[in-house]
Structure 1
Amino acid sequence: MDFSDRQQEPGKKFLGIGLVIAFHVVLVYALLNGLGTAFAPFLFFFSTSLFASAQK
Structure 2
Amino acid sequence: MRAAHILETALYVRDVAEAIGFYRDVMGLEPVGKVSERNASFGVAMAFSCFSGRKRR
What TM-score results when the alignment is normalised by the length of structure 1? Answer: 0.22
Give 1 or 2: higher strand fraction: 2
Give 1 or 2: higher helix fraction: 1
What TM-score results when the alignment is normalised by the length of structure 2? Answer: 0.22
